[in-house]
Chain A
Amino acid sequence: MQSRNIIIALVLGIAIAAGFALSLRDAREPVVSLTATVLPAGNELPDFALFDQYGAAAGRSVFEGQWDVVFFGFTNCPDICPATMTVLGQARRELDARGQNPLPRIVLVSVDPERDTPEAMARYVAYFGDDNLGLTGELAEVRKLTDALGVFFQKAGADGEVYGVDHSTVVLVIDPEGRLKALFSAPHEVANLVHDLPLIMAGEQ
């Protein structure tokens, strides 16, 4: 009986020691932390009816089939929109240089559809890189998308042709099934995007 207790004690001791060793090893494992906030399940996008920069109809399915990195801005925005689009373009080129495959597409959704015609969007998005997508259309249709995604925008300082638009600075990541998968908050940095996007796209987060 005594030897049986000794064996049980030994087994328990080994188990505890092994568990402790494992816990130590886990503690030493590098933790991959992301700047982005990842939504494990992914949120479905709503139906909407917009136009791409070529004037072609673009609904929810335009987000299916590839990873998209989406920003909401407007072509008459002199400062933060081009700065953000520049960062996104640089990040995409850096990912390309590192052999990332597939590359995410950069999408600009206009929060100033009154002035942002498909032609204006075409000139604008092409400036920041190849294969970019621009979406514009009726204000109510833009609202369907932004409201569902929690993206804010509001015309500010309306004064004829000269006005601005207050808007969210968030950058959204949409997966090939057309689900909101992650979001980056400003300030946006190329290094953060280059680090996080491959992990998000690989489903490792």
Chain B
Amino acid sequence: MRLVTLIAVLAMAGGCGGHDNPPVVATNVVVTAPAAGMPMAAGYLQISNHSGAAVRITRVSSPEYGSVEMHETIVEDGIARMRAIPVLEIADGETIIFERGGKHLMLMQPVGKPGTVTLNFYSDDVLLLSVSTEFTAAME
């Protein structure tokens, strides 16, 4: 499994003690354009919470994009609906998977040319996790 977590910060009371590994970890991070030349990109990853307590992700930002939103594609009765996820709750010990056809990050308003993309996950104003990956031009 490709581990691309660079920094994992958890500033929660009692959340860090006794852990050898970062309390909130992102793996298999991919940021990709749906098609060449498209202004938006999609982000996929797995986020695992080993903090000893539930965490809430309320905001995601990236220096490379003006706007990053957590979305979920829901297919019901043959209809695909995309809905925003205002708050992502991750229980202690839980791994949330962002994958095609399900939860995903929608990155809009790119700043400059895509290269390394950094994603910052916040719980209110507290930075929980910062992860970087190379932008992938192709979705396949």
Q: Hey, which bits of chain A sit against chain B, CB under 8 A?
A: 75-83, 85-86, 89-90, 123-124, 127-128, 152, 156-157, 162, 164, 166-170, 185-187
Given A78-B41, A78-B71, A157-B83, 19 new contacts (CB under 8 A): A78-B34, A78-B40, A78-B42, A78-B104, A80-B101, A82-B34, A82-B42, A82-B139, A83-B139, A89-B140, A90-B140, A127-B36, A127-B37, A128-B35, A156-B82, A166-B80, A166-B81, A169-B75, A185-B78
Q: Which residue of B lies closest to A72 (CB)?
A: B80
Chain B residues with CB under 8 Å of chain A are 34-38, 40-42, 67, 71, 73, 75, 78-84, 100-101, 104, 106, 108, 139-140
Q: How far does the Cβ of A52 sit from chain B's closest Cβ, in whole Å?
A: 17
CB distance from A80 to the nearest CB of B (A): 5
B58 to chain A, nearest CB (A): 19
Q: How many Å from the CB of A170 to the closest CB on chain B?
A: 6
Complex contact A123–B41 (CB within 8 A):
no
Residues of chain B within 8 A (CB-CB) of A83 are 100-101, 139
- Count A-B contacts at CB 8 Å: 83
Q: Which residues of chain B have C-beta atoms less than 8 A from A75's C-beta?
A: 34-35, 38
Min CB distance B61 to A, Å, is: 16
Closest 8 CB pairs of A and B: A82-B34, A127-B35, A78-B42, A164-B82, A166-B81, A83-B100, A80-B80, A82-B139
Q: Contacts A166-B79, A168-B78 hold; do A79 and B35 have CB atoms under 8 A apart? A: no
User: Please, which residues of chain A bring their CB within 8 A of the CB of B36?
Assistant: 123, 127
Rounded to whole Å, the gap between the CB of A19 and the closest CB of chain B is 43
> Complex: how many Å from CA A164 to CA B83?
9
Contacts of B81 in A (CB 8 A): 156, 164, 166
* Contact (Cβ within 8 A) B78 A77: no
Tell me the smallest distance from the CB of A132 to a CB of chain B, in Å: 11
Contact B100 A79 (CB under 8 A): yes
